[in-house]
């Protein structure tokens, strides 16, 4: 990709605003996901406890848990937002990094 790409200031502001809105949504998702690690109410049977533990592991505590994935998306989106906020030029340098991070996080989700 060439370095001749230019974005109008209002376009950059719009993109940064969209990223900020998405980041606010990810904060809410993270708050919900934090509670997933504390799965309760499955009962006392062994099978119920196994199911409860399975839900807790999917919620948080492993590299592929919902909480970890939300964090990965948050980090990638923050990098993208910051790249655009710097005037868009850093986007060209950061493009492959944030795209790689989003792709990696999405593939394992």
pLDDT in tens, 33-77: 888 878 788 888 999 899 988 888 888 888 889 999 999 999 999
Per-domain residue ranges for the chain? Answer: 9-34+44-107
**79 close to 98: Cβ distance less than 8 angstroms:** yes
- The answer on pLDDT for 23 being more than 60 is yes
Q: What is the predicted pLDDT for the residue at 9?
A: 84
What is the token pair recorded at 84?
A: 């655009």
Looking at mean pLDDT, say which of 21-30, 79-88, 89-98 comes out highest.
21-30
Nearest one of 67, 76, 72 to 34, comparing CA atoms: 67
What are the Cα distances from residue 37, in Å, to 32, 59, 64, 70?
10, 5, 13, 14
Rg (CA), the chain: 18
């Amino acid at each position: 990709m060439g370095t001749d790409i230019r974005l109008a200031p209002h376009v950059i502001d719009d993109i940064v605003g969209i990223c900020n809105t998405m980041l606010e949504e990810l904060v809410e998702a993270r708050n919900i996901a934090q509670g997933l690690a504390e799965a309760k109410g499955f009962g006392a049977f062994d099978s119920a406890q196994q199911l409860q533990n399975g839900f807790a592991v999917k919620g948080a505590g492993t590299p592929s848990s919902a909480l970890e994935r939300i964090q990965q998306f948050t980090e990638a989106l923050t990098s993208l937002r910051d790249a655009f906020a710097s005037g868009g030029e850093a986007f060209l340098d950061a493009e492959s990094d944030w795209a790689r991070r989003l792709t990696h996080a999405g593939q394992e989700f």
